[in-house]
Chains A and B, each alone.
Chain A
Amino acid sequence: MYNQDFFLQAMIYLLAAVITVPLAKKTGLGSVPGYLLAGVIIGPYVLGWVGQESEKVMHFAEFGVVLMLFLIGLEMQPSLLWKTRHSIFGMGGMQVVTTTLVIAGAAWMMGLRPNQAAAMGLILSLSSTAIVLQTLSEKGLLKNSGGRSAISVLLFQDLAVIPILALLPLLAVIGGISDVKRQVPPPQEGFAALPGALQLLLIVTVGMAVIFAGRFVARHIFRFVAGAGMREVFTASVLLLVIGSAYGTAKIGLSPALGTFIAGVVLAENEYRHELEVTIEPIKGLLLGLFFISVGAGINFTLFFREPLLIAGLVLLLILLKFGALWVTARVFGLRHGRHVLFALALAQASEFGFVLVSFSDTLRIFDHETSSLIIMVIIFSMALTPLLLVINEKLVRPWYVRRRNREVPDKIPETGNKIIIAGFGRFGLVVGRLLIANGFTVTILDSNPANVEILRKYGFKLFYGDVTRPEMLEAAGVKDARLLVLTMAEDDEALKIAGWLKKNYPNLKIAARARDTFHEFEFYKLGVQMVQRETFNSAVELGSRSLHFLGFNRYQAHRAALTFKHHEDSIMRELYEHWLKDETHFIRESRRFSDQLTETLQTERDFSIHETDCAWDVTSVRKEKAEETGLRPDEDSRSRDHGREDDGHAQNG
């Protein structure tokens, strides 16, 4: 029933990745070279454990790239995308045109026919979305303006694939192999067979449908699914969404990656965004890994060892030419201070789209078989070198610019670092959040109850639905850059777990925590969380104060009594905490929790006395002293006006 081969294959892929990726990460190159190396090792030229099927695996794994673009889209709100339109079309357009011209020129000078040179320029002008994004995000460079520009250009390239696919058959015709047109008619069926106007209409319709569905329908579906409380169904619905948009865009002739990117953008303002990210992230990671492994396994070393110098030279030349064209593009669009170097180094490789385009050109007979495999080798090697180029940027280029900048202009204050996250937005978190928002702070709110999320959203809160107890969720919410995390969830054991995890992974993050009771508070202290508030104490004291007023205290007297009690409680708590630390096991028994607590508190309280804080308002001693001086009985001198103290007999009850 099960295909044993499948198990074996899966084991080989996973084993190779498990061994090589951590090693590659240790060297600072990031995961990509690790995967590639794993592919080379298990591939046909070293161990030979995997072979022919690796190409099929690669096609399957390309879905990882699609998922990655969906995630990038999620990070990009529509307004942000609109702001970057200049860099997408301007920079992207200029990059593709100049790179194509430069490469085509070089190819032509090396003796290729004009049509071949043009095809090569077009194919090699694209850069590898998978490698660039994976490497940049591992190095945390996606938010850098160089990284952002790189994303814009990659998006444009995704669009450019369509006209390139249309141009290649034309180049084949111009190329002079006379009977090409008859031999290989361009695929004209389905969507492509429709007239141009109708195609455009369809594209617009599908686009509108995606936007409408994403903005108005998706929320209800997610709420419905999340309400069922089944994690895997939620995952399934997210995958359905991604695959659906990929299928839809592929059907109308656009790249599936572009389709999912748009779906991501449309959902970027959705309250389930963080949950979507968390769900897709691991799947994307696995598929991308698989993709890189299959690229590594696809390297044809026989070809390489036949002409190692030629291939090495071509790879170097390609990288140099692309780097030059990218450098110029970056400078024209105002990138400076080393960001243009990052941009140019990051995009200086050829794309995995190249594989498809080369094999397409092959069937069109633009290139002969030999040239095609040569180009594919060059593409793969240029991809494999990218992480190395970025290490050069990190170790040489950036330090140089940092040193130069330190001499020239003062450092800018980083934009992030003012983020506040509230985890758990029920009765308790709501009050904390309202207070912060009322005072002009922006907060990111996470809650795991979809019903709350909906209601609060209606009143304009920025909320995200998600299981707060999952670390990935907090990471997606940006805990890395956060200034404060308010932990107000009701699940007390989970809250401790999260606090422990946060203290371990982000020791500098400030945590404000809600505690259920005294012992819960102590557990937080023990973890190093200092800003802790018991959820009931203050309210109970307030009610007690109002009771005192009813029982005959005047209002201020009752208020002072409550204040005194609160401060008295603080010193008791300090005492009790010391006690608790020494004698922990005694308290751990959950069943007797409250009575233990009561006994301990009352026991400690007995050793304390509430200091008579407001003694100065009590004039008994003054009156006594006065009476002794004058020889009168105090009663007869009750309206003493000595040294400006006006006594109206508001003595403490004592």
Chain B
Amino acid sequence: MKKILILFAHPALHKSRIHSRLARAAGEVEGVTFCNLYDRYPDFFIHVPYEQKQLRVHDVLIWQHPFYWYSCPALLKEWMDLVLEHNFAYGRKGTNLHGKKALSVISTGGSEAVYTRQGFSHYSVKQFLAPFHQTARLCGMEYLPPFVVHGSHLLREEEIDRYADWYARLLTALRDNTLPTVKWQDAESINSLIP
């Protein structure tokens, strides 16, 4: 059984429709540690040794957040800047994260069609996530394709519920290591691979 750490970043959870629901679903899966970064560090003062300890004892790292300006909210970036220290996460002696898995769980306002070469956003979600991908790679982690909730502005309540359910199944599969082994590089998202 793999241990999963979700680093959740949402500065206005009280206004969230999607992520509050996903967060609740995630919290109910056994073996998942859910860390609400904005709740833990409202003054952006991240406790680096504690966060590093958490990383050491988990096997799967999930960055869950809304897709603000094609990236993450500021506190998660701060977390990456401060916690992924030289000689902890990378560098000659920085091997603490080697062999772990990482993935992004995001929601986007635009539909799937928007995130194409021809679409309004011009790039695919996966292309936008290149910094996360490369960060994981540099830290010796395997970066899985993202779990994406597309078109979040127009989702109806029951559709959100379906996504939450889907997310919970993804977490269970990650925990029990039952995801199909495919060439991750080919998948645009992990959504279709969830059993």
CB distance from B102 to the nearest CB of A (A): 16
List the A side residues contacting B91 at CB < 8 Å: 621-622, 625
Contact A625/B48 with A616-B81, A617-B81, A617-B82 known, Cβ cut-off 8 Å: no
List the B side residues contacting A619 at CB < 8 Å: 86
Stretch at the interface among A256-264, A483-491, A607-615: A607-615
Interface residue from A563, A567, A616 paired with B84 (Cβ < 8 Å): A616
CB 8 Å contact bits of A599-637 with B (1 = contact, 0 = none): 000000000000101111101011001000000000000
Q: Which residue of B lies closest to A623 (CB)?
A: B86
Chain A CB within 8 A of B120 CB: no
User: How many angstroms from the CA of A619 to the CA of B91 in the assembled complex?
Assistant: 12
Q: Does B82 lie within 8 Å of A643, measured CB to CB?
A: no
CB 8 Å contact bits of B132-143 with A (1 = contact, 0 = none): 001000100000
Chain B CB within 8 A of A199 CB: no
Contact A563/B43 with A615-B48, A625-B92 known, Cβ cut-off 8 Å: yes
User: How many angstroms from the CA of A643 to the CA of B82 in the assembled complex?
Assistant: 15
CB distance from A316 to the nearest CB of B (A): 60
Residues 39-53 of B at the A interface (beta carbon under 8 Å)? 43-49
List the B side residues contacting A611 at CB < 8 Å: 48-49
Contact A622/B86 with A616-B81, A617-B81 known, Cβ cut-off 8 Å: yes
User: How many angstroms from the CA of A614 to the CA of B79 in the assembled complex?
Assistant: 11
Contact A644/B81 with A563-B43, A621-B87 known, Cβ cut-off 8 Å: no
Contact A616/B85 with A611-B48, A621-B91 known, Cβ cut-off 8 Å: yes
List the B side residues contacting A372 at CB < 8 Å: none
Chain A CB within 8 A of B131 CB: yes
Chain B CB within 8 A of A564 CB: yes
Residues 529-573 of A at the B interface (beta carbon under 8 Å)? 563-564, 566-567
User: How many angstroms from the CA of A566 to the CA of B83 in the assembled complex?
Assistant: 20
User: How many angstroms from the CA of A614 to the CA of B81 in the assembled complex?
Assistant: 9
User: How many angstroms from the CA of A264 to the CA of B82 in the assembled complex?
Assistant: 63
Q: Does B45 lie within 8 Å of A621, measured CB to CB?
A: no
CB distance from A100 to the nearest CB of B (A): 58
List the B side residues contacting A615 at CB < 8 Å: 48, 82, 85
Q: Does B81 lie within 8 Å of A564, measured CB to CB?
A: no
List the B side residues contacting A644 at CB < 8 Å: 131, 134
Q: Does A564 lie within 8 Å of B45, measured CB to CB?
A: yes
CB 8 Å contact bits of B15-57 with A (1 = contact, 0 = none): 0000000000000000000000000000111111100000000
Q: Does A616 lie within 8 Å of B90, measured CB to CB?
A: no
List the B side residues contacting A563 at CB < 8 Å: 43-45
Closest 9 CB pairs of A and B: A616-B85, A616-B82, A563-B45, A622-B86, A621-B86, A643-B138, A613-B48, A567-B45, A625-B91
10 contacts between A and B (CB under 8 A): A567-B45, A611-B48, A615-B48, A621-B86, A621-B87, A621-B91, A622-B86, A625-B86, A643-B90, A643-B134
